[in-house]
Amino acid sequence: MTKVTLKDIADKLNISISTVSRALDDNPNISVRTHEKVWNAARAMGYVSDTHFAKDGLKQSNLIGVIVPKLSYHLYAMVISGIENILEQRGMHILICQSNESFEREKTLIEELIAVGVNGVIVSIASETKEFGHFEKLKSRNIPLVFFNRECNAIRTDKVVIDNRKVAHEAVNHLIAIGCENIAYLGGPESLQINLERAQGYKDALEENSIPIKEENVVFSKFDKESMLSAARKLLYAPNYPDGILTFSDQIAINLMVAAKERGIAIPEKLSVIGFNNEPVGELIEPSLTSIDQPAYQMGQEAAELLLKQMENENESFEKRILKSFLVVRKSTNRNRT
């Protein structure tokens, strides 16, 4: 059953989300008629509010919102564990939210977390997000905000990331070292800052090794299965298809490998593939997937530490922590290739 949101109630009554939020919070500035209308709709629709935390005395004290693009990604599960490890030691509770890569849902989640009365928010940005006013709303209300993994330069706040440009550069150098000459980058959504950084690292490595950058070898994809397969086929069905491909994620890499099998291209004999995030499934598929490992648990811990630092210190000095990542070499790249 899909959870009823503040937006669902607002849409049904044709009023703003903020009005719904204030009515459910018994704000005295809301008219009696609107208050009753909102509460009646909420009951009828089966709305379950997290504001019971506030009634238990947790509001404005120890409730933290965490927004991730997808809970099914191993990276985010590990980050959440790291966040919990730090915050639970301080007697804090986290509300875990999933944007499903949707900009509109991400905005709604921010509204709902504000309404609940969270004392801070930790976020990895949705792939559809190109505007950042909802994060400015947190800042304007003095609610601490920390970005992890996916960030945006438009918002001044604490961030925990890896050096995506550098590690992509190292991955492409690995492909060059094993003999690849026609190397492509199969990226995620083009608007994502993290994706552009990885694409730049790919280009840096080619330029450093005097290998021409071919426009047709840089392809971007959304995160649904059909988009990933379509992007993979665009590369692999070319007359002179690549012999080495760095992908944005393990999910994209696996769909690329499916397309290669469909096309009859042997991995790693004819095509070497590198993923990103080192998901556990990478060890189980055949051939096993070479991938870039991120310290996800540590990323969660450090994001939580930075949030606590903001909560305790109101100055405008923000920090960007860059964690180490490394390439895990498996069978999808062949070191003995000539």
List, for residues 126-174, the tens digit of each pLDDT value. 999 999 999 999 988 889 999 999 988 889 999 999 999 999 999 999 9
Beta-strand relationship, 63-68 and 120-123: parallel
pLDDT at 56 over 50: no
Amino acid at 52: H
Query: Which residue carries 């509109």 as its tokens?
Result: 104
Say how many C-beta atoms besides its own lie within 10 A of residue 136's C-beta. 13
Rg (CA), the chain: 23
- CB-CB contact of 107 with 121 (8 Å): no
- Cα 56–Cα 63–Cα 16 angle in degrees, nearest 5: 90
Say how many C-beta atoms besides its own lie within 10 A of residue 46's C-beta. 10
pLDDT at 105 over 50: yes
What are the structural domains of the chain? 1-49 (1.10.260.40), 57-161+297-323 (3.40.50.2300), 164-294 (3.40.50.2300)
| Global confidence as pTM | 0.80
Q: Is the dihedral of CA 205, 208, 211, 216 positive or negative?
A: positive
Rounded CA-CA distance 252/200 in Å is 18
Residue of 249, 247, 252, 250 whose CA lies nearest to 226: 252
Rounded CA-CA distance 191/193 in Å is 6
